A and B are shown apart, each in its own frame.
Chain A
Amino acid sequence: MVDRFAHQPTGSATEPANVAAPSTPPSLLEARGLCKSFGGVRAVNKVAIDVPVGQITGLIGPNGAGKTTLFNLLANSLRSDSGTVMFDGSPIQELPAHALARRGLVRTFQVARVLSRLSVLDNMLLATQRQTGETLWKVWLQPGKIASEERRERDRAWEILESVGLAAKAQDYAGALSGGQRKLLELARALMTHPKLILLDEPAAGVNPTLINQICDHIRTWNRDGMTFLIIEHNMDVIMSLCDHVWVMSEGSNLANGTPIEIQRNPRVLEAYLGD
Chain B
Amino acid sequence: MEGFVVSLVIFTAIFTLFGLGLNLQWGYTGLINFGHVAFMTIGAYTTVLLSLRGVPLWLAAIIGAVAASLLGLLIGFSTLRLREDYLAIVTIGVSEMLRLVAINEEEVTRGTFGLQGFPLPLEDLNPNGFVRLLMMALLTVVIGLAYWQGFRWLRQVWKQSPTSELLSSSRVALGYILSLVLAVVGVGFLSSQLKAGEVLPPWVLGALLLAACVGIVLLFVWLGDRATKRIAGWTTGLSIVIAMIAGLVGIWAFGYSLTALYHYNDNPSKNGLMLLSVLLVALVFLGLDRLVRSPWGRVIKAIREDEEVARALGKNVFAYKLQSLMLGGFLAGLAGALYSWQLTTVYPDNFRPLVTFNAWTIVVLGGAGSNLGTLLGASIFWAYDTITRFVLRDIVPLEDARLGAFRVMIIGLILMVLMIWRPQGMLGKKEELTLGR
On A, residues with C-beta under 8 Å from B are 75, 77, 96-102, 106-107, 109, 113-118, 122, 125-129, 131-136, 139-140, 143, 146, 150, 173, 175-176, 189, 193
Contact = CB atoms under 8 A, between A and B. Distances in A.
Given A115-B305, A122-B301, 9 more contacts: A77-B312, A96-B316, A98-B314, A98-B315, A107-B312, A118-B302, A126-B295, A140-B290, A176-B431
Given A115-B301, A139-B294, A106 B312 contact: yes
B420 interface: no
A100 B312 CA distance: 8
Contacts of A77: 308, 311-312
Contacts of B291: 136, 139-140
Contacts of B311: 77, 97-98
Contacts of B313: 101, 106, 126-127, 189, 193
Contact of A173 (B299, B308, B310, B435): B435
A190 to B, nearest CB: 8
B296 A118 contact: no
Interface in B422-437: 431-432, 435-437
A99 B306 CA distance: 17
Contact of A126 (B302, B323, B327): B302
Interface residues of B, number: 30
A125 B295 contact: yes
A99 B319 CA distance: 13
Contacts of B323: 136
B312 A75 contact: yes
B314 A131 contact: no
Interface in B249-304: 287, 290-291, 294-296, 298-299, 301-302, 304
A116 to B, nearest CB: 4
4 closest Cβ pairs, A-B complex:
A101-B314, A175-B435, A133-B295, A115-B305
B312 A133 contact: no
Contacts of A97: 311-312
Residue picked from A99, A116, A134, most chain B C-beta under 10 Å: A134
Contact of B302 (A106, A115, A133, A143): A115
A140 B432 contact: no
B317 interface: yes
A100 B316 CA distance: 11
> DSSP majority for the B interface?
helix
A102 B314 CA distance: 6
Contact of B296 (A102, A134, A173): A134
A106 B315 CA distance: 12
B309 interface: yes
14 contacts: A75-B312, A96-B316, A98-B315, A100-B314, A101-B313, A102-B314, A109-B308, A109-B309, A113-B306, A116-B435, A122-B298, A126-B313, A139-B295, A189-B313
A115 B302 CA distance: 6
A126 B304 CA distance: 13
A197 to B, nearest CB: 13
Contacts of A109: 308-309, 312
A113 B290 contact: no
B301 A117 contact: yes
Nearest to B304: A117
A203 to B, nearest CB: 15
B431 A173 contact: yes
Contacts of B305: 115-118
Nearest to A101: B314
Contacts of A176: 431, 435
B294 A133 contact: yes
Nearest to A125: B298
> Among B295, B304, B309, which residue has the most Cβ atoms of chain A within 10 A?
B295
Nearest to B293: A139
A193 B287 CA distance: 28
Contact of B432 (A113, A129, A136, A173): A173
Given A99-B314, A106-B313, A116 B294 contact: no
Determine which residue in B304, B306, B312 has the highest number of CB atoms from chain A within 10 A of its CB, and name it.
Answer: B312
Contacts of B437: 113, 116, 175
A101 B302 CA distance: 16
A118 B298 contact: yes
A140 B287 contact: yes
A249 B418 CA distance: 53
A176 to B, nearest CB: 6
A241 B66 CA distance: 59
A115 B299 CA distance: 11
A100 B315 CA distance: 10
A143 B289 CA distance: 13
Interface string B195-239: 000000000000000000000000000000000000000000000
Given A126-B298, A133-B295, A175-B437, A98 B309 contact: no
Contacts of A150: 295
| Most B C-beta atoms less than 10 A away, residue of A98, A107, A173, A175 | A98
A195 to B, nearest CB: 10
Nearest to B432: A117
